[in-house]
Structure formats: C-alpha cells, structure tokens
Structure 1
Amino acid sequence: MVNLPLFLLRHRVTVEPYLGDGAYGPTFGDPAVDVPALVGESVRMVRTADREVTSTAQVIATAELHCPVGSRITLPDGRTATALVVSRHTAPGLPVPACTEVMCG
C-alpha cells in the first residue's frame, strides 16, 4: 500500500478521539496534536448513519489516522468541529495513495 506523501499535507490539526458517552456527556481520548492534514473548507451535504447533515470542512490525512465518528477536531483556524463521516480509502496493489477522509461539521 502506498502512503499519502506527507509534503501534500500542508495543514496541522488536533484530533481528540471520541470514546463514548459518559455520565456528563461525550468523552474523548488524549489529543493527537500537530497531525499533518489537508483541510478544505466548503459546505456540503453528507449522509451519516442515520441522517443528512451539513459538513463545513473536509480533512484528508494519512491512512493511520485514528478518528472515530464523533471525534473532536481542531482545525488550522482554531475552530473546533466534530467528525461526522470517516472514510478510509485504500487500493491494495494499485499505485495510488491510501488516506483517511473526515467530513466535519
């Protein structure tokens, strides 16, 4: 599997992985700081597991990114968003890079 070249990932984000709901609301794991990513801020409609929602940012990172749906992501401009849809793109045996795409709202 070919990895996404790091020189293409010009932005840095912070990812706090969603662990589940606790007695006082959602709980998050230790933040992954300074994660290389490519961030595109555009408004799009996306379909989650149970509804259609508006995404305001798209984050593309390496295939190794640990970001479950519901994770908290701090974008380069300081805005905090929630991971709505997480897609892992791989093509074993083909010379195309593997990556993780996160649609944020």
Structure 2
Amino acid sequence: MNVPRWLLPHRVTIEPYQGEGAYGPVYGPPVADVPALVAETVRTVRDREGREVTSTAQIIAEPGLDCPPESRLTLPDGRATKAINIARHTAPGLPVPQSTEVSCE
C-alpha cells in the first residue's frame, strides 16, 4: 500500500543528481509537479558520509521517487535546496503506507 495521494498536497521539482562532471555536479532533467508533503522543520540528520548536518525541510513522497542525495529540489515556496538523505519507508505485510522521505538542506 502506497501513501495516499490526498496526503501529498504540495508540488516540488526535482533535478536528480547524476554525479560529477568536468565542470561540477551533473543533474538530470527536472521532474516538475512531483506530489509531496513538505514540512519545513529544523532537524539534525546524517548525510551520506555519516556527518551530522542540519535539515531545514523534509519531504514525504510516493515510493520509488528518483531523488539521490545531492539532487536539487525546488520547494512549493520557490526555495531551492539539495537532498541530504533519502529514507525509503516500507513495511511488507503490514497495513501501513510505503513512502520516500527526503531530508533537505
């Protein structure tokens, strides 16, 4: 069971991080109008290298979201940010919704 769409009232734009190129980070084409639930709350999270960093926004989206760490996101208010950490919430066999959580700078 996936998180119901009616619980995802916001829309974000994601530019998936694809790696480093000769001139810096390389991003895939922007994916606009991604349904999400955005919470702009300050939290301490760990980045992909295990360092403690501050997240100022968290996004809940449908499972299978293509948003690797370092991806660029544009929030509903127009603020541009980067993905710090991605958590895929699954519960096989349990009656709870699956989702993807993205912690942003």
CA contact (8 A) 2:3 2:98 kept: yes
Q: Are positions 1:52 and 2:36 aligned together?
A: no
Unaligned runs of 5+ in 2: none
CA contact (8 A) 2:48 2:84 kept: no
In the alignment, what sits opposite 2:9?
Answer: 10
Q: Are positions 1:95 and 2:95 aligned together?
A: yes
Shift of 1:64: 1.9
Q: How does 1:11-50 map to 2 (within 5 A)?
A: 11-50=10-49
Q: Which runs of 4+ in 1 moved over 3 A?
A: none
Root-mean-square deviation (CA), in Å? Answer: 0.6
Shift of 1:49: 2.7
Q: CA offsets, 1:31-53, max 9 Å, x none?
A: 11000000000111111132111
Distance in 1, Cα, partners of 2:48 & 2:70:
12
CA contact (8 A) 2:16 2:29 kept: yes
Unaligned runs of 5+ in 1: none
TM-score where L is the length of structure 2: 0.96
Distance in 1, Cα, partners of 2:72 & 2:22:
18
Distance in 2, Cα, partners of 1:103 & 1:4:
18
TM-score where L is the length of structure 1: 0.96
Q: Are positions 1:62 and 2:62 aligned together?
A: yes
